[in-house]
Amino acid sequence: MLINPLPMPPKQKIILFADDDLDDQELLKEAFLKIDDQLIIHTETTGKDALSFLEQCSDQDLPGLIILDYNIPDMNGAEIFELINSNIRYRNIVKVVWSTSNSPLYRQICKDAGIDHYFEKPQRYQEILKLGQKMLELIV
């Protein structure tokens, strides 16, 4: 008799989003909620605060997606993700950097740090909506 494996639990619809630019933070958060109003979005403005939030999360409340601005106070996004990736507890979380810079150097640093995706910040709201949809598809 063949036993069916238990289904994989859905990835959390919880997002941790850290960006020190409050306008950028608000625009992406608004786009996410326009796409899916059931999301739980936790925002921070520093890398240390983002790390502190993760440490305080129970396993079932861990985000399914972490988005960091590359140039955030305290440490850059790649440095923060290196710390996050060093903890097995966070390995299954999708990790994204979004930045105003499209620098090949930043992209390579992020790739080396184990970041799943690097996106350049869009200039228009419609583009932010499209990017928000693309990011959410990473955790569906």
Number of domains in the chain: 1
pLDDT tens digits in sequence order for the chain, 140 residues long: 455 444 444 456 999 999 999 999 999 999 999 999 999 999 999 999 999 999 999 999 999 999 999 999 888 889 999 999 999 999 899 999 999 998 999 999 999 988 999 999 999 999 999 999 999 999 86
Q: Quick one: pLDDT at residue 8?
A: 42
Residue 17 lies in a domain: no
Q: Quick one: pLDDT at residue 12?
A: 65
Domain of 38?
Answer: 22-137
Residue 8 lies in a domain: no
Question: DSSP labels for 24-49?
Answer: HHHHHHHHHHHH-TT-EEEEESSHHH
* Beta bridge partner(s), residue 97: 68, 118
Q: Quick one: pLDDT at residue 98?
A: 94
**Whole-prediction pTM:** 0.88
What is the side-by-side order of every strand in the sheet holding 117-120?
40-44, 14-18, 65-69, 94-99, 117-120
Q: Quick one: pLDDT at residue 5?
A: 47
Give the Cα-Cα-Cα angle 26, 39, 15 (nearest 5 degrees). 70
Q: What is the CATH number of the domain that holds 104?
A: 3.40.50.2300
Residue 87 lies in a domain: yes
Give the Cα-Cα-Cα angle 42, 76, 70 (nearest 5 degrees). 70
Residue 64 lies in a domain: yes
Q: Quick one: pLDDT at residue 3?
A: 52
Q: Quick one: pLDDT at residue 11?
A: 56
Residue 88 lies in a domain: yes
